[in-house]
A and B are shown apart, each in its own frame.
Chain A
Amino acid sequence: ETGVTQSPTHLIKTRGQQVTLRCSSQSGHNTVSWYQQALGQGPQFIFQYYREEENGRGNFPPRFSGLQFPNYSSELNVNALELDDSALYLCASTIGGVGETQYFGPGTRLLVL
């Protein structure tokens, strides 16, 4: 158990819809990162939040956005869903700083039809 939880576990949406995925980090973990893992691939970095501010972003379009809250929870929002957004979305939390171990949640599996 990593102490990181995600909801929902599974989700089905249709193209063009919007989705919000949630993550709850361990207490004291100020940094949360979100990753997208397409089928048969390794996770790809979407973005990272540190103390409620975006702190780095991967090669994802602006329709992927996030929020981090003071209670160590965070959200990943995806607008105008596309079929290729179907993937496992993972959040990972850490105390912060390079080299700090990132603890992953179990993920949310999103299917876009």
Chain B
Amino acid sequence: GEDVEQSLFLSVREGDSSVINCTYTDSSSTYLYWYKQEPGAGLQLLTYIFSNMDMKQDQRLTVLLNKKDKHLSLRIADTQTGDSAIYFCAADGGATNKLIFGTGTLLAVQP
């Protein structure tokens, strides 16, 4: 079935780069998304990438997509303490509009 997997936890120092990885199984996914969730809050869309792209850069965020391996990554440059949150990778469910989410990666930024 459809599945999205992420590592559970990442700890970095302020100013370093963070790389959060994700793998997905549905090869028909057209768009792949990264969402951020702060404690007690809803989901904030950070960025997304179309499946025929390899890379997308948006200010401090860089998304890399390896469609052959179904691997997605999010790089945050110059990570700040305000970036501490849970990051979710999501894939659209092919022909439907539903999103399939991973379990989330908790990013802890140490000052």
Contacts and interface: CB of A to CB of B under 8 A. Distances in A.
B96 A56 contact: yes
A99 B29 CA distance: 9
A31 B90 CA distance: 18
Interface residues of B, number: 25
Contacts of B12: none
A103 B98 contact: no
Interface in A1-31: 2, 31
A61 interface: no
A45 B43 contact: no
A42 B48 contact: no
Interface in A24-52: 31, 33, 35, 40-45, 48
Interface stretch (B58-66, B77-85, B101-109): B101-109
Interface of A: 2, 31, 33, 35, 40-45, 48, 55-56, 58, 90, 92, 94, 96-107
Interface of B: 4, 30-31, 35, 41-45, 48, 50, 88, 90, 92-93, 95-104
Given A48-B96, A104-B35, 18 more contacts: A31-B97, A40-B103, A41-B104, A42-B4, A42-B88, A45-B93, A55-B97, A90-B43, A94-B97, A98-B31, A98-B95, A98-B97, A99-B30, A99-B31, A102-B99, A103-B45, A104-B43, A106-B42
